[in-house]
Structure 1
């Protein structure tokens, strides 16, 4: 039977979505145009390459992240469905935000959309999906939509600051999406935490063989296409071989991550068995860490070392950190994004800093270190502050937050015809 007394979103979700889409349509009408290419500048081979990368990222965003969020035994509809809703809305907003703030995307007051801008927009949407992973099950779709719009805005503004004001490399700045999105989501979850959820959630937060298999399918989609995710933003340096180095390095880092994740999961278990949920997360950590450090990695063994260290930290974090965070800080991270994205992302930042410092002179190295530290500190501050502010905003009663006993439950939002009681 459908849950009684669940707060209806009929007067909230349709109104918010229609209003947002109307605003987006008007902005697209007045500001967005399709970029026209000369044949000599945009040949068929370039189009095929860019479209293939777009397809890979598209699969990751809508299938990889979607299936990955279905591991909760009573939250499969919401995990995949809300992922689709948020990703579709966040991509539209990211196209506009990138166009308004990043100078290479607009000209004469118009935003020109092309394959590259759509790829970057989906990477921004990925940052919002990472943040959403921390609050799955404790928020309704209206709150998730608003959270995603704020997160994308903050991430694009952060990119503008580090690119325009600090002159950071565009490849490096956009790959900070893992650090920004995860910390944003964790802080939002911390503000939204309610003590009653801790007592209501144990049964609903479990996984079973069916949901675990679907979540593993999402992991496989992400794992297979992650080299495209890291290399898609490499545009102008195709001839130098950087793109190929990124693809090879990402694969090697991911391969090592899988092996170490399974080993640590079994080693840290009291029964000597592997935990599928931990492996689903930690197997991806190598791709996250390498993506942040990819511009400085020149040798395959360095990529493999990054994958080894990231999987080690991520697997141990998945095993021990989640419960300790809930006990010590009252912060519940549903999908463990802190261990999957934040810690590997910061590890990749340290690897990038070390590799750059090792290959430069002392004076230049000191200047680079200060600049590099400023970029990370700005990203951390922006994500933490905006995450707290967003959490306070989403706590307003106007958004009809879930009842404690309806958290992690699909029946609060979805129809189940086979459960309807005929009178």
Structure 2
């Protein structure tokens, strides 16, 4: 994997920020976009812009072909059985809310259980809080181990015959924990529950096989994997999706409408009301082509080598707290002693280094970590060891600056 050649495909990386070459270490929030994606979206708007599925004219046919072609690329990327199981949404949040409304509220009653973990992003927590309130179900949490991992014994202790839904992140956006979702799916199914996997931090970084994983639903976003913002995917097993009612109604998702009743299109279109995110889907298809050309195994290996290198460097800094397990995905969350993470991020930004600081949409996890906020550096296929070195140098300058201040 030639990282320098890959970097040449990302125009945004070739700039200075505050007088320094940009080091972008915030890909867990959103990734940068490669030239083929930018060009694919540009070409769609320049040459093919039209609505899909509706017109018989040439532009409409070309737009529909690209839109549905992107769906097939997604199906292949996650190894779904059929394109009927691939629903385009606005992103992970919309995908999970679709399950929480269309599946959970129709299938949960008082006394049922929804099982999640304290490490969940708010997008995989609040929808289940609201579903529990609406149905009378109980929200239960699997306890975390000290290093921020989930033990299968804890899952077995928490999931019972009353559990109807298990919702868990594939990869924690704070801890970098890679959860054993396949094994957790097995425990859920043994108890008659379905499993919903938040794949926002999983799909961009590793091979995902939803059939091997045996998850019932898998949600992810395009913008974290080189695609445009505003496009995402909900995968669902076909028999589950067929028995779910849509929660967004209007054009495109209907079969027949009369004055007092309507019927819905077949899958996947019954969940795609209104004009879909056509350009976003086209861009997502181009992003998948780009990732496939590199190879997801190569990408994962590169990120693993880089995060190991970074962790080793960070451990040489006195007064740094690093959160999460040793074995992790491509991110490192940390705090410098006596320095607020927002101050850390501000000093690093002055050096041209972009990281994330805050609660990362995971306030219950911050409480579990006994902190209000953390700093996070996250990596992707375009990052290098030089980027990690710049991060470490920036943190040393931060410590020096605040040491002088205090």
Shared fold (TM-score, shorter chain, > 0.5): no
TM-score between the two structures when normalised by the length of structure 1: 0.28
* Higher share of residues assigned strand: 2
TM-score between the two structures when normalised by the length of structure 2: 0.29
